[in-house]
Amino acid sequence: MRRNLLHPGATELVYEIREIVKKANLFKAMGVAIHWENIGDPVQKGTPIPQWMKDIVAGLAQDSASYGYCPTKGVLSTREFLAARTNALGGAQITPEDFLFCNGVGDAISKVYQYLDPDSRIIGPSPAYSTHSSAEGGHAGKPPITYQLDPNNHWYPDMEELRNKVKFNPGIVGILIINPDNPTGMVYPESVLREIVAIAKEYKLFIIADEIYTHITYNGAKAVQLAEVIGDVPGIGMKGLSKEIPWPGSRCGWLEFYNTDKDPEFARLVKTIEDAKMLEVCSTTLPQLALPKLLSHPQFQAHRDSINNDIAARGEVVYNTLHDLPGMIVNRTYGAFYNSILFKPGVLKPHQKLKVENPQARELVESLAEGDVPLDKRFVYYVLAATGICVVPISSFCSDLLGFRVTLLEEDPKQQKWLYERLRSAIEEYLAS
Ligand SMILES: Cc1ncc(COP(=O)(O)O)c(C=O)c1O
């Protein structure tokens, strides 16, 4: 090529949740049975889709309107339905004009960061769901700017660090929260959210809240939505169908814009995001038509409650199986459906290994584990080779911490018990090796 093809941010794009699948498939081809613990897809893990949901979707397939384009911002009646729900929270008041439907929150995330000035930065949590950190680093052409979630304090954010980074870095224009959080399972306390809003107000920032798991809480926790606490600070709420219905294959999510009238620059950003979607015409119509029918169905809440109870029970199994292991930090979870299991600083070493029976798998893992591989990724490769369990290293979630993320989605109790007991014995063997 006569010159560079790529944006400087191209190297920031990492999505280990799927990248690890390539490695797992190599082991699979060698005869290792893989247990997929890498991705937050409840449907893949067997969460039952009730017949009444299927009937709604099947009924819409009989409606010709579901085959057409819809308005760029999304189906109007659906936006009216959602605006009423948000307004009923009693905080920010929005109209159907303050929405933009996207093809999943993943699409929404890339739209939001893509057109920001490269020098305007969004500070986000570490660890973080890597679609955010990659999109942010990608737009800036530099590594993401982060605030730490503290594993020794229930994974709550280090507020002093957040405040100081905002204060001393005038490039920061926004704060990202993921609430409930992926990958930690933490739910932001209301007082912390209010403090974040106060920082945003003081430094004239906007807030992005990824609330895709907002109704997936348990153990007595409730996720307070950004709309409830934002006051007159500009903000964006990100919500979707993938996790709560669950319907990840719908590729349906949306943005809610709060206080666009309070800051002209923020209003220009919102207009630009809408213009970007207009170039694509609109997002998928059928799931948008389904959304009000699904969420207002008389059986929806019971369905959601029952899945949340199951997640809570699995969260307990993970905690009880792993929390007393020497060398590890394990927190209880309160929302979403993941737990981040950490190695204490210094316990992972580059010589550690697991016994791998399959000779081909042993040879492969030894070559993968060589060289400049983060120590938690090395552990994850050994776990794959020796047990077939496919988890994701925490260092891939924009973090300097070392550990791995598990999902709380396994439907079969026997399989779940086996998974976590096997992980426990793998940790013990690896650390003692
Ligand atoms: C925090 C968070 N945001 C967004 C997404 C992507 O959601 P969608 O399926 O709507 O693209 C995920 C998926 O795991 C997620 O965990």
CA of 146 to the centre of ligand 1 (A): 19
Distance in angstroms (rounded) separating the CA atoms of residues 248 and 235: 25
pLDDT of 41: 87
217: confidence class by pLDDT, cuts 50, 70, 90: very high
Pocket test for ligand 1, best of 18, 103, 212 (most atoms within 8 A of CB): 212
CB 57 near ligand 1, within 6 Å: no
Say yes or no to pLDDT of 340 above 90: yes
Say yes or no to pLDDT of 362 above 90: yes
pLDDT of 203: 98
Q: When comparing pLDDT for 14 and 305, which is higher?
A: 305
CA of 356 to the centre of ligand 1 (A): 34
| % residues pLDDT > 90 (the chain) | 89
Report whether the peptide linkage leading into residue 246 is cis, meaning its omega lies within 30 degrees of zero. Answer: yes
String of b and e for 33-69 (b: at least 16 CB within 10 Å)? Answer: ebbbbbbbbbeebebeeeeebeebbeebeeeeebeee
DSSP letter at 223 equals: P
Single out the residue of 111, 129, 88, 50 nearest to residue 336, CA to CA.
129
DSSP letter at 198 equals: H
| pLDDT tens per residue, range 243-293 | 999 999 999 999 999 999 999 999 999 999 999 999 999 999 999 999 999
How are beta strands 392-393 and 403-407 bridged, if at all?
Answer: antiparallel
| Residue identifier of the C-alpha nearest atom 4 of ligand 1 | 105
Say yes or no to pLDDT of 180 above 80: yes
CA of 367 to the centre of ligand 1 (A): 32
- Quick one: which atom of ligand 1 is closest to the CA of 213? 1
CB 212 near ligand 1, within 6 Å: yes
CB 129 near ligand 1, within 6 Å: yes
**Section 173-189 average pLDDT:** 98
19-23, 26-30, 188-192, 320-324 — which is least confidently predicted? 19-23
- Quick one: which atom of ligand 1 is closest to the CA of 241? 10
**Mean confidence (pLDDT) of the chain:** 95
Distance in angstroms (rounded) separating the CA atoms of residues 166 and 352: 40
CB 182 near ligand 1, within 6 Å: yes
Distance in angstroms (rounded) separating the CA atoms of residues 206 and 234: 5
Start-to-end C-alpha separation, the chain:
49
Distance in angstroms (rounded) separating the CA atoms of residues 103 and 240: 9
CA of 342 to the centre of ligand 1 (A): 22
CB 240 near ligand 1, within 6 Å: yes
Q: Which residues pair with 132 in a beta bridge?
A: none
| % residues pLDDT > 70 (the chain) | 99
Longest dimension (CA), the chain: 64
In the structure encoding, which two tokens stand for residue 53, read together?
């949901």
| pLDDT tens per residue, range 6-57 | 787 777 666 677 788 889 999 999 999 999 988 888 898 889 899 999 999 9
CB 242 near ligand 1, within 6 Å: yes
Instruction: Give residue 283's identity as a one-letter amino acid code.
Output: S
| pLDDT tens per residue, range 86-141 | 999 999 999 999 999 999 999 999 999 999 999 999 999 999 998 999 899 999 89
pLDDT of 2: 85
CA of 349 to the centre of ligand 1 (A): 33
**Section 369-386 average pLDDT:** 94
DSSP letter at 335 equals: B
Q: Is the dihedral of CA 397, 424, 187, 257 positive or negative?
A: positive
- Quick one: which atom of ligand 1 is closest to the CA of 242? 9
